[in-house]
């Protein structure tokens, strides 16, 4: 059994989550539940792998041996039923970097790129920053559950200027794990209209029981060839600072184009520590991940039940995966700035504001559940007291 209840002080460690709160919230004395890394220590074998490599004492340019790829290939097959080979996998410094690369390599300035909002806010920057046009295919809520609007998607994908759709699977921030049927319908629409699917699957390992992640590329050969998957072990094992992402590309022409660009930027060499850690987590991490998922689902159930029983005006979204809970705060009767003020000034909590994720995120907040449960218990008590004055 692993201990996920250990509370570790991360302040003054140059943590963005703790030491940069003043930039977004005006103060650093809040309880942080915003940036999507966990307040849970990485497994011991990660620490020992880094320590062993560090003790060698020389940190020159590093390559990626066959064992590195073998570990990824085996993980993809055993955990996600995705068949891939070494030649289908290429390093990336991060998933957001990879998304930028795909937009720049496989669309032209002025082209349109579809995203399904509310969605991870760097998606907006990736598109706008590359002088492409954002096309929103907003998610809709049916019976309390977020779903895709396929009629709207069909209409927007049929525009010849639409060249790409960036899929978030599992979805951040609404916590949906898309079903095979949903992905099939999306994939057929994109295939029919010549829209390339770039699938951000960074949260693919963190899926709760009664749900199953389906890699988009695993559904069919034609989807495999009309897609690029961007993922990483970073969310799963809390190693975002090591820059250990990778892309899965089955189309040889697209893979060669990506590799060429990566090489031109001199970003095709792995970090010496991320290389060994990526291999280690995929070789040794299955048991730790299974226990982590159980703990995170327990966190999600605790917060869901606590809010429903004790906090009026806020409705938590039932999660199927990720460690990010989407909170509907519209029942508080406040605008988005007033909601921010409630969380920050009255509750002393730092969460991601819903409007960061798009217009249809206004009135919501995103809560990071990746932490010891005691921290969530404290946070919920603070939020309960803060909302008593409002409702």
303: left (phi over 0), alpha (psi -120 to 50) or beta: alpha
Work out the number of other CB atoms within 10 angstroms of the CB of residue 377.
14
Instruction: Return d(Cα 183, Cα 42) in angstroms, integer.
Output: 32
In the chain, which segments carry CATH 3.90.1150.10?
A: 16-43+287-388
- Confidence (pLDDT) at 96: 98
Residue 230's DSSP bridge partners are 200, 247
Task: Name the stretches of the chain with pLDDT < 50.
Answer: none
Contacts of 156 (CB under 8 A, 6+ apart): 114, 135, 137, 162
Q: Which residues pair with 136 in a beta bridge?
A: 115
Phi and psi angles of residue 368, each rounded to the nearest 5 degrees, phi first: -85, 120
Residue intervals of the chain classified under CATH 3.40.640.10 are 59-283
DSSP state of 276: H
Would you say the pTM of this structure is higher than 0.95?
yes
Distance in angstroms (rounded) separating the CA atoms of residues 360 and 337: 15
Q: What is the DSSP string of 341-383?
A: HIIIIIT-EE-EEGGGG-GGGTTEEEEE--S-HHHHHHHHHHH
What integer pLDDT is reported at residue 144 of this predicted model? Answer: 87
Reported as type and span, the H/E element at residue 141 is strand 140-142
**59-283: CATH topology:** 3.40.640
Neighbours of 38 (CB within 10 A): 23
Answer CATH for 16-43+287-388 from 3.40.50.2300, 3.90.1150.10, 2.60.40.10, 1.10.645.10: 3.90.1150.10
- How high is the pLDDT of residue 389? 79
Given this model, what pLDDT does residue 333 score?
97
Using an 8 Å Cβ cutoff, are 200 and 167 in contact? yes
Question: 326-360 pLDDT, tens per residue?
Answer: 999 999 999 999 999 999 999 999 999 999 999 99
Given its phi and psi angles, is residue 299 left (phi above 0), alpha (psi -120 to 50 degrees) or beta?
Answer: alpha
Q: For position 343, what pLDDT does the model report?
A: 98
């Amino acid at each position: 059994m692993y201990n996920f209840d250990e509370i570790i002080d991360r302040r003054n460690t140059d943590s963005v989550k703790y030491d940069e709160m003043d930039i977004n919230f005006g103060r650093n004395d809040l309880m942080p539940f915003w940036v999507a890394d966990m307040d849970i220590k990485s497994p011991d074998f990660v620490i020992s792998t880094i320590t062993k490599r560090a003790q060698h004492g020389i940190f020159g340019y590093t390559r990626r041996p066959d064992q590195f790829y073998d570990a990824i290939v085996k993980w993809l097959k055993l955990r996600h039923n995705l068949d891939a080979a070494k030649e289908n996998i290429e390093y990336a410094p991060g998933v957001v970097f990879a998304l930028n690369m795909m937009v720049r390599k496989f669309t032209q300035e002025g082209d349109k790129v579809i995203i399904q909002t509310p969605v991870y806010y760097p998606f907006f920057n990736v598109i706008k920053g590359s002088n492409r046009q954002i096309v929103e295919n907003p998610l809709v809520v049916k019976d309390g559950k977020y779903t895709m609007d396929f009629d709207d998607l069909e209409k927007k994908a049929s525009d010849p200027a639409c060249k790409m759709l960036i899929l978030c699977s599992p979805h951040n921030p609404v916590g949906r794990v898309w079903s095979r049927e949903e992905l099939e319908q999306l994939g057929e629409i994109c295939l029919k209209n010549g829209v390339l699917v770039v699938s951000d699957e960074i949260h693919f390992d963190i899926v709760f029981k009664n749900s199953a992640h389906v890699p988009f590329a695993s559904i069919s050969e034609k989807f495999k060839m009309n897609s690029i998957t961007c993922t990483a072990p970073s969310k799963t094992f809390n190693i975002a600072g090591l820059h250990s992402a990778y892309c899965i590309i089955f189309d040889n022409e697209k893979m060669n184009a990506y590799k060429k660009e990566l090489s031109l930027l001199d970003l095709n060499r792995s970090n010496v520590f991320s290389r060994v850690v990526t291999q280690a987590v995929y070789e040794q991490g299955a048991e730790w991940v299974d226990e982590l998922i159980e703990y995170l689902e327990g966190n999600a159930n605790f917060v869901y039940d606590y809010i429903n029983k004790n906090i009026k005006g806020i409705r938590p979204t039932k999660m199927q995966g990720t460690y990010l809970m989407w909170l509907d705060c519209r029942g508080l009767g406040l605008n988005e700035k007033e909601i921010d003020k409630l969380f920050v000034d009255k509750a002393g909590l730092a969460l991601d504001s819903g409007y960061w994720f798009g217009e249809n995120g206004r009135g919501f907040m995103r809560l990071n559940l990746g932490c010891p449960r005691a921290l969530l218990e404290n946070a919920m008590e603070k939020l309960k007291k803060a909302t008593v004055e409002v409702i």
